[in-house]
Structure 1
């Protein structure tokens, strides 16, 4: 654990001293240049001593009448700069322990409010909604995101530099909604203990956005230009007046108890019935108001959602997203060079085997937050020996130095050690940067970023580099980018993810998205062209792919599109695309594929989307069909079905793949819901079912019941025609409790 000690020393050196933190003088409005930029400003109202508050969604407490409202939202869509058809008022108040928000969302047709889902953290693509962001450090790069709908859904996320967004963060806050003849009102309470913030900041960045879904109308308090938006904190307004507040001791203790029953009669070797009961502990402590430490012991992920299956017809691995809470909390502090073709830290390398099955995690420690102008992320994890797999120690350290308004320079280091093994420790280190502005040519966005990474292989770094750069122009009417990268043959970060090695890549793209003014049906056209050229290290082209597309979307939210992809591929190795179907090395292929797609608006009771692509594919042809169906008969009841089918005819052989998915989501209210997820694919021939029940007893206190069952189909190969036998099954219950000091 020598390197763990060095990491710990680096943490200590990166922290501001306690004395310095105590002596730091608050920055006044006259000192901070942001107050000279003419931003919209609102003042938070402080509750009087002993003034009562009842969380009921009615906004009838006297302090709401005293609070200064944020009004006069500005339309972003469908009429840029127009006056919203429905008015919104936002009031903010606070006392020593909590931030309060009261929202009045007027609606002239309250019986037409849309709220199809109530499940915590669900993406609101079909509902009316109110969203807000808060930059509690006033660094104009990071912050918190929240959203609600008229039926009480609560969602939140942590935002990082460059637009990164971690929706898996579950902050402890509460809210109530009332629907009435005037529209809907929201009453929200966010404990200051939930937020990291700079107590010396003269203001917080803040912004609000309202969606009226039936009109496809978007309106913001500020930053309404389409090159700006809610999540771009450099365009946010200001919230002033918050002072003399408390984060308490800054200590959250979260014990859990869990029970498991599992068996795997169909695995090789088979595993009999096993029963276990576990207890564990998560501890969160704010070392400073800006910096949070997290300790986990005997970590359990029983409540984790199952991965969504994918059929892979490429030569390269698929990256599945992280879904475990411990690794997701504070995850944006570890982000590195967004959009790069390699990832030096991919947390699924810890505690999961190559099939995604969980391994024992004995414990871990994490530090995330801000120290002065630095964003800091440090992670140490120890896994236990499990079924012949040796225990390992993992370490990650990430630092970003914020410069200018939207830019940073950073570095990352990762380390992996197999305990009791002769295998050398593996190290990865790298640097990255992002230079960004939202005032290019007046009000346009422009970004330049780059990275260099290296890792050790048996103590050597020969041919183990990855490097690249990106120039991006991400704007509404015109957008484009140029990406250049190189990944050498021995680049293999022990905690990272690399799809492809030994290549150089050049990828320009350009997009044009006009919005016809006054058109009764069409909201926006999109036309785009992209080129990806990949060479080997001798600069011989091995892949060249054009992506040409056009799309039109309507005011109602429907869309239709068309595209084609002329492609050249030179195989540098045998490619087994399906059992018994092998494309030989050294062969080159020219082919073109065509695609059409369409989708109806998600707000509809029945929403349908689909695509069909056809054309050449290596030595033959491929037809791909994708169909999705969503049913929302009433608020809280949703059913989503999907079918993906590939029919491939090659000179070396023919095959067909099928993937089916059905998700049934039943929500009794925003705090009690169950999700059934059923999947089958013809490649693995595994039919899987998972049901997850969650009861949020109170914010921070949860009960989970989870059952998962996988069946293996016989060799007949088509769903329904073969006998299914149990591969494995498991059941778990977990109760977690949070005590805040």
Structure 2
């Protein structure tokens, strides 16, 4: 692609005002990226002239500047004024994708829309197939940095100006970067890219970038140090322990230091994450724990280099193991440091050490990690890690309480991204545990325009322990003894899908027919579970979607497990069920998703009804409601159970810098009613004031659990 799609960027001495008005002289003489391609729902033609996009770029000693003209009249769809909102790409939007090292392994994008709402994200080299929701998307939207943009709307087009500081980027001192531009047009429900991206891949795919040619290699940004102190005041009461109200105040902060233009050092002292959005609860009808995403900013930059080992249900590293317990409660962190980025064009590294606080009922822990990725050819890498958890007490090592894991993996990806194969082998080391401490994984996959196929085989020994990882299938809960037992297991996953693209159909974009199979067995070959599913999905041109699936599960309970008040006994269970989902046009002011599942469940039956309603009062308000109701009916003496999950959410944006969000969650499975309300004022870029109220109640007996009110101020200071 970079031989064909090239854009020249030149230095300017002209002062550029970021106001969305392209009246600077430089914009009349710079090179233009135009003639965009459709990337979705088809990829075989250019965008029609009336919807084309024109992009121009220049730079000075501090910033990269971008100007764009997005042709096509309004009214435009703006899902929210909130920065980094998850519905951003379901409206009109534009983004620039940078691969500054130009090795197709790590990048970043900056986007905006006609209301100047900002979004930015880290992009890994493994963004995968468009529409895949089961695995990682390779896109980290929780990452934030300081940059500037302004949009302006006209009768038949809208314009953009951006200023992206070099300090926001990690780049090599070379004169060719990877680059692409993405645009979504809500009226036609289409996605466009400058350098063409096949329809099966996401527009941010780093394997399909064009080339950005600099007139001279950009120099290292001078004084690239940011200090982010915070001050916090809080009041907290724990009603379960009936302790007096705890009023507290504390300070802390982070620092970001550019060691080189592509290698960054992050430091933190007494970090606080109280402003992080609360986890969205789910009803868990499996026998293993649910993995919730990382949202804490310190752990997000270059997090893919730490976490991209193993396969999705078997990750040797999971950053939420640091500073959080299994219930998501905070464990105080004293300090930490992380060095991450590119040492050279082919070698990425990550080094991290975090120290938690010694408490009365919990000894201090040190979590340290070293990881690397070495590109050997094309998009193929060798990577490895060493993780270490070491317990401390009174400032001394506890020699009998530690856990260490290490692994080496090979990851092949074809230049066009269609073929991928990987494999690896690792070990864990814990006190008094020897032998059967292995971890292995292997996989091969293909993502073509119509055919998508993937299979992997992985496993762990019974003595493989990853205290810094997430491998829930290793642990089996015994509901009678109220304890868990560890088992080694082998895991085999396969999926296949065939996508039809109807020619000139007036309404349908695609039909997709597929299947998936998950097989887990103990080291001795005893079945744990075998899940087989066939599914069909239709996607309309107006963004509506219909999905049907039929599933057959064989589950072997190795220990008694309870979904109701009475635990199911050890044994093998076979059950079948079917379900469908329909999602309406997401561009409408009122949209919805409806789902029904019904069928057998272990030795009984289950019916599930789910709905999500979304009312958008453009652009200031979003009012959502999620409701999931499960009815379990098991034979005597196991009884029946009604599981309700209700989640109203109100988001009000008074401007792009001022918002108020309230999220209520009523979850009978966890016996918890939660209210989380957050007021946020971004008074300067990445400098914010938060006022957060959280309240938790028991549902069954209806009484308070705990309550907190927090006021926090943080300030981003470039040194």
Normalising by structure 2, report the TM-score.
Answer: 0.93
1:172 aligns with 2:127: no
1:431-470 equivalence runs, <5 A: 431-439=408-416, 445-470=418-443
Does the Cα contact within 8 Å between 1:223 and 1:229 map onto a contact in 2?
no
- Matches of 1:356 and 1:690, distance apart in 2: 15
Secondary structure (helix, strand or coil) at the match of 1:583 reads: coil
1:108-123 equivalence runs, <5 A: 109-110=73-74, 112-123=75-86
Of 554, 563, 569, the residue aligned with 1:584 is 569
1:59-208 equivalence runs, <5 A: 59-85=22-48, 86-107=51-72, 109-110=73-74, 112-123=75-86, 124-163=88-127, 164-199=138-173, 201-208=174-181
Does the Cα contact within 8 Å between 1:226 and 1:475 map onto a contact in 2?
no
- Matches of 1:211 and 1:332, distance apart in 2: 26
- The Cα shift of 1:301 comes to 1.1
CA RMSD of aligned residues (A): 1.6
Does the Cα contact within 8 Å between 1:117 and 1:151 map onto a contact in 2?
no
- Matches of 2:559 and 2:643, distance apart in 1: 23
> What is the match of residue 613 of structure 1?
597
- The Cα shift of 1:679 comes to 0.4
- The Cα shift of 1:700 comes to 2.7
> What is the match of residue 689 of structure 1?
675
- Matches of 2:223 and 2:355, distance apart in 1: 28
Does the Cα contact within 8 Å between 2:543 and 2:584 map onto a contact in 1?
yes
Does the Cα contact within 8 Å between 1:424 and 1:459 map onto a contact in 2?
no
Unpaired segments of 5 or more residues in structure 2?
A: 128-137, 475-487
1:364-403 equivalence runs, <5 A: 364-372=336-344, 373-403=346-376
- The Cα shift of 1:248 comes to 1.2
- The Cα shift of 1:235 comes to 1.6
1:54 aligns with 2:54: no
Normalising by structure 1, report the TM-score.
Answer: 0.90
- Matches of 1:42 and 1:338, distance apart in 2: 38
- Matches of 1:577 and 1:62, distance apart in 2: 68
> What is the match of residue 19 of structure 1?
none
Does the Cα contact within 8 Å between 1:94 and 1:242 map onto a contact in 2?
no
For residues 262-286 of structure 1, give each alpha carbon's deviation from its aligned partner in whole angstroms, at most 9, with x where no partner exists. Answer: 1112x2x223211111111211111
> What is the match of residue 597 of structure 1?
581
For residues 608-629 of structure 1, give each alpha carbon's deviation from its aligned partner in whole angstroms, at most 9, with x where no partner exists. Answer: 1011111111111111111110
For residues 709-730 of structure 1, give each alpha carbon's deviation from its aligned partner in whole angstroms, at most 9, with x where no partner exists. Answer: 1122243xxxxxxxx3321111
- Matches of 1:414 and 1:668, distance apart in 2: 44
- The Cα shift of 1:575 comes to 1.1
Q: Residues 78 and 347 (structure 1 numbering): CA distance in 2 closer, same or farther, change over 3 Å? A: closer
- Matches of 1:89 and 1:456, distance apart in 2: 56
Secondary structure (helix, strand or coil) at the match of 2:288 reads: coil
Unpaired segments of 5 or more residues in structure 1?
A: 1-33, 716-723
- The Cα shift of 1:340 comes to 4.3
> What is the match of residue 612 of structure 2?
628
Of 319, 323, 328, the residue aligned with 2:295 is 323
Does the Cα contact within 8 Å between 2:36 and 2:193 map onto a contact in 1?
yes
For residues 267-323 of structure 1, give each alpha carbon's deviation from its aligned partner in whole angstroms, at most 9, with x where no partner exists. Answer: 2x2232111111112111111111100111111112111111122121111111111
Secondary structure (helix, strand or coil) at the match of 2:358 reads: coil
For residues 671-729 of structure 1, give each alpha carbon's deviation from its aligned partner in whole angstroms, at most 9, with x where no partner exists. Answer: 111111100111222211111122122213222111111122243xxxxxxxx332111
- Matches of 1:634 and 1:290, distance apart in 2: 39
- Matches of 2:489 and 2:372, distance apart in 1: 28
- The Cα shift of 1:125 comes to 4.0
> What is the match of residue 709 of structure 2?
731
> What is the match of residue 256 of structure 1?
230
- The Cα shift of 1:356 comes to 1.0
- Matches of 2:385 and 2:576, distance apart in 1: 40
- The Cα shift of 1:135 comes to 0.5
Of 178, 194, 203, the residue aligned with 1:221 is 194
Secondary structure (helix, strand or coil) at the match of 1:214 reads: coil
Secondary structure (helix, strand or coil) at the match of 2:231 reads: strand
For residues 112-159 of structure 1, give each alpha carbon's deviation from its aligned partner in whole angstroms, at most 9, with x where no partner exists. Answer: 211121111112242111122101011122211222121111111111
Secondary structure (helix, strand or coil) at the match of 1:332 reads: helix
